[in-house]
Structure 1
Amino acid sequence: MKHINWNQASELGLIMRINREILHPLGLAMTRNPENGASEMLLVSDDGIWEYDQMLTLKVPQVSEEEARAKITEWTKEPQA
């Protein structure tokens, strides 16, 4: 089975989207370790509210579905022998 890591998912804007649309309303936030691309935990908000800093939201990659599929294909391509 092929895979991408959470650093790559972040490059596609998926972590912010997952957080904003699914986890933040539940008071949760996914984290990742940028050194290894692993997500080891979800953070739980003390007050049940998570909001991204507005400046951070301006830096979110705007990747179309077509661009995302192309990157995923590139990242998961089998190496040529």
Structure 2
Amino acid sequence: MKHINWNQASELGLIVRINSEVLHPLGLAMSRNPENGASEMLLVSPDGVWEYAHPLMDLPPAVSDEDARAKIAEWTKEQYA
């Protein structure tokens, strides 16, 4: 099976999207270890609220969906080379 790690997902802006759109409203936040690209846990907010700084959320996505698909294809193609 093809795969990408969480460092690569972060590079695509996916962790911000997953956190802000799915996890933060539930009081959760994904964390990752940048040394190995693994995510071993979700953090639970003590007060049930997670928020990114507003300037960060006002930025455009790290890459477009089209560019993300191309980058994922590039990364996963290398796995079978």
TM-score, length of structure 2 as denominator length: 0.88
RMSD: 1.6
Q: How far apart in 2 are the matches of 1:48 and 1:63?
A: 29
Kindly indicate which of the two structures has a greater share of residues assigned to helix: 2
Provide the residue aligned with 2:46 in structure 1: 46
- 1:66 partner letter: E
Alignment match, 1:14: 14
- Paired residue for 1:3? 3
Tell me how far apart the structure 2 counterparts of residues 48 and 42 of structure 1 sit (CA, whole Å).
Answer: 13
**1:11-55 CA distance string (max 9 Å, x none):** 110000000000000000000000000000000000000011235
Deviations 1:33-78 (A, max 9, x none): 0000000000000000001123544667531111001100110112
Partner Cα distance (2:9, 2:44) in 1: 21
Number of corresponding residues: 79
Q: Are the equivalent residues in 1 in contact too, given 2:3–2:76 (CA < 8 A)? A: yes
Q: How does 1:31-70 map to 2 (within 5 A)?
A: 31-57=31-57, 61-70=61-70
Q: Say whether the 8 Å CA contact 1:28–1:50 is kept in structure 2.
A: yes
TM-score, length-scaled by structure 1: 0.88
In structure 2, list runs of 5 or more residues that go unmatched. Answer: none
Q: What percent identity do the matched residue pairs reach?
A: 76
Which whole-Å CA distance do the structure 2 matches of 1:8 and 1:36 have between them? 11
